[in-house]
Amino acid sequence: MLQSLGRPNRPLHLLMDKAYEGDETRQLALDLGFIPVAPPKSNRLEPREYDREMYKRRNEVERLFRRLCTEQPHG
C-alpha cells in the first residue's frame, strides 16, 4: 500500500503504529521520501529516536475518524 502512494513532492511525515516500525517498512518509507514517525517496539535492542510531538498527531487523526464513524445522523 505504501508503494502505491508514490513519492511525495516534498518530505512528508509518515505517522505509523509501532507494529509497522520494523526495519523493512521503515527503509521503504525512507526510500520513497517519507519521514517515518513511530515509537520503537519495547523489544528493539537499539531503539530509534522519533518525533514524539509529531506522533501525538497520529492519535488526533485516529480520534477524528472514530468520531466520524460513530456519529449518528440527526433527524
- At 24 the pLDDT is 92
Q: Average pLDDT of each block of 10 consecutive residues along the chain (75 residues)?
A: 85 88 91 92 88 89 88 66
- Other Cβ atoms closer than 10 A to 19: 9
Q: Of 40, 39, 31, give the one whose Cα is nearest residue 11.
A: 31
Q: Which helix (H) or strand (E) holds 12?
A: strand 12-15
Domain boundaries in the chain? 2-70
Q: Classify residue 19 by its DSSP letter.
A: G
